[in-house]
C-alpha cells in the first residue's frame, strides 16, 4: 500500500484569502465597537452604557474568543512552503522586512499621532513633546504583527536547527549523506484525515494549556512593555499557529469533510452564549477553579469550531475570487496596518453626531471599510511600499 505525501501549500488559495478579507473587516468592526461600546479600550472612545452599547461590548467579547486565534492559524498555513522555497535564513530576513518594518513605522509615526489627544495633559505635567512622541501610547492592533513575527522567527529557527541536525547525521552516515538526507528538506507526512477525535484532542490541549497559563496571566492582564492587550490568549494564538503549520504540511484542509465543518460551525455558534456566561462567572472575585476550567473549555470549543467551520464553509461555498475579492485580498494587510488612523479620523469627524451607539457604530464601519481599502491602495502605489505591505 502506498501513500501520497501532502505537499506544503505554495500557491494562494482563494477561499483562504477570502477568509482573510472577512477577518480584516471583523477587525474594523471590533475596533468600531470598542469606540462606542461599554468597553472603551481604543484610541478614541465615546463609551455608552445603553442597551446598544452593552450589545457592542458583547460583540467584542464574543469576537475575542476566536477571531485573532483564527488569524494566527491562517497565517501559519503558508509558512512551511515559504521556508521550503527560501530556506530558514532568507525566510527570517523576509519576515523581518515584511512584518518588522510596518511594526517600527507604526510605532514611530502612527502610534504618537493616535495618542495626540493625551498630549495636553502630559504637557501640563511638564513633559516635552519629544518624550511624548516616543513614549505615548502602545502599538495597538500591531501587537498581532509583533507576535506573528516572533512565532515566525521561532519556526524558522526550528527548521534551521532541524536541518543542521539532519546534516550532522548525514556526515556521520555516509549513505545518508549520499542519498540526500542531509539536504535540510523536511520530509512531508502522508495526508491523514482529520477526525473528531483529533479535534477533541486539540480542544483538550488548548483548554489545559490555557487554564494553567491563566493561573499566572489572568484575563484582563496587559503587558505594557510590549503593548500586548490580551496575553491571556497567547496559548490559543501560538497553538493555532502551530495547527496552521501542521495543516499545511499534512494536507488537513483538503481532508476536512462537509459534515465536520457543519458540526463545528453549529457547535461554535451555540457555544457563544455559554462562553459569554462562563467569562462572566470566571471574572467574579470569588470564581473558583471549576469556573476557570469551564471558561477555558467553552471558549476554545468556540475558537476551534469557528475555525474549522469557516474553513470548510469558505472552501465549499466561497472559494472563487472575482476582481474585487482579489483587490481586497491584495490590500488586506495594508488595511490592517493603517485602519486605526482611518477609524479614529472618521470617529473624530462623527463626534458631533448624536445618535444611539449602535447606529453610530454602523455609520463608522460603513464609512471606514471603503476608506481603509482606498487608502491602502494609494499607499501601496508609493514606490517600495508594496514590497512591505
SS3 letters across 194-225: CCHHHHHHHHHHHHHHHHHHHHHCCCCCCECC
**What is residue 286's predicted lDDT score, i.e. its pLDDT?**
77
Q: Profile the chain (389 residues) by mean pLDDT over runs of 10 residues.
A: 42 86 98 94 94 95 95 96 95 96 95 91 90 88 96 96 84 37 39 89 97 91 86 96 95 94 97 91 81 93 97 95 95 97 97 96 98 98 93
CA 137/CA 115 separation, integer angstroms: 6
**pTM to 2 decimal places:** 0.90
CA-based nearest residue to 331, from 365, 382, 379, 383: 379
**What is residue 12's predicted lDDT score, i.e. its pLDDT?**
61
**What is residue 324's predicted lDDT score, i.e. its pLDDT?**
95
**What is residue 327's predicted lDDT score, i.e. its pLDDT?**
97
> Angle 196-216/258-282 helices, nearest 10 degrees?
20
**What is residue 192's predicted lDDT score, i.e. its pLDDT?**
77
**What is residue 139's predicted lDDT score, i.e. its pLDDT?**
86
256: Cβ contacts below 8 Å, ≥ 6 apart: 194, 308, 311, 312, 315
Q: Are 305 and 265 in contact (CB under 8 A)?
A: yes
The single-letter DSSP state of residue 137 is: S
Residues facing residue 228 across a β-bridge: 223
Amino acid at each position: 500500500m502506498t501513500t501520497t505525501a501532502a505537499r506544503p501549500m505554495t500557491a494562494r488559495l482563494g477561499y483562504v484569502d477570502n477568509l482573510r478579507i472577512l477577518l480584516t473587516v471583523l477587525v474594523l468592526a471590533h475596533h468600531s465597537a470598542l469606540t462606542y461600546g461599554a468597553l472603551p479600550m481604543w484610541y478614541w472612545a465615546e463609551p455608552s452604557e445603553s442597551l446598544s452599547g452593552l450589545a457592542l461590548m458583547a460583540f467584542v467579547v464574543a469576537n475575542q474568543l476566536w477571531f485573532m486565534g483564527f488569524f494566527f492559524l491562517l497565517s501559519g498555513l503558508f509558512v512551511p512552503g515559504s521556508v521550503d522555497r527560501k530556506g530558514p535564513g532568507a525566510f527570517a530576513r523576509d519576515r523581518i522586512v515584511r512584518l518588522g518594518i510596518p511594526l517600527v513605522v507604526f510605532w514611530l509615526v502612527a502610534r504618537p499621532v493616535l495618542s495626540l489627544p493625551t498630549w495636553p495633559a502630559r504637557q501640563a505635567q511638564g513633559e516635552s513633546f519629544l518624550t511624548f512622541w516616543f513614549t505615548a501610547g502602545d502599538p495597538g492592533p500591531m501587537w498581532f504583527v509583533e507576535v506573528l513575527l516572533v512565532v515566525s522567527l521561532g519556526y524558522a529557527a526550528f527548521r534551521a536547527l532541524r536541518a543542521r541536525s539532519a546534516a550532522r547525521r548525514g556526515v556521520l552516515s555516509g549513505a545518508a549523506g549520499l542519498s540526500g538526507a542531509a539536504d535540510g528538506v523536511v520530509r512531508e507526512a502522508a495526508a491523514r484525515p482529520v477526525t473528531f477525535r483529533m479535534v477533541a484532542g486539540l480542544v483538550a490541549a488548548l483548554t489545559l494549556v490555557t487554564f494553567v497559563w491563566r493561573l499566572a496571566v489572568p484575563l484582563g492582564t496587559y503587558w505594557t512593555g510590549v503593548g500586548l492587550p490580551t496575553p491571556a490568549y497567547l496559548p490559543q494564538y501560538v497553538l493555532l499557529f502551530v495547527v496552521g503549520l501542521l495543516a499545511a504540511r499534512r494536507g488537513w484542509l483538503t481532508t476536512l469533510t462537509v459534515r465536520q465543518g457543519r458540526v463545528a460551525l453549529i457547535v461554535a455558534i451555540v457555544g457563544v452564549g455559554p462562553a459569554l456566561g462562563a467569562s462572566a462567572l470566571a471574572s467574579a472575585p470569588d470564581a473558583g477553579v471549576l469556573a476557570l476550567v469551564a471558561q477555558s473549555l467553552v471558549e476554545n470549543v468556540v475558537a476551534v469550531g469557528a475555525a474549522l467551520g469557516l474553513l470548510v464553509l469558505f472552501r465549499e461555498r466561497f472559494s472563487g475570487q472575482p476582481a474585487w475579492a482579489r483587490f481586497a485580498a491584495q490590500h488586506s494587510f495594508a488595511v490592517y496596518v493603517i485602519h486605526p488612523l482611518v477609524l479614529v479620523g472618521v470617529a473624530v469627524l462623527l463626534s458631533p453626531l448624536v445618535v444611539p451607539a449602535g447606529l453610530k457604530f454602523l455609520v463608522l464601519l460603513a464609512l471606514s471599510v471603503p476608506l481603509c481599502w482606498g487608502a491602502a491602495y494609494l499607499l501601496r502605489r508609493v514606490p517600495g511600499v508594496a514590497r512591505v505591505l
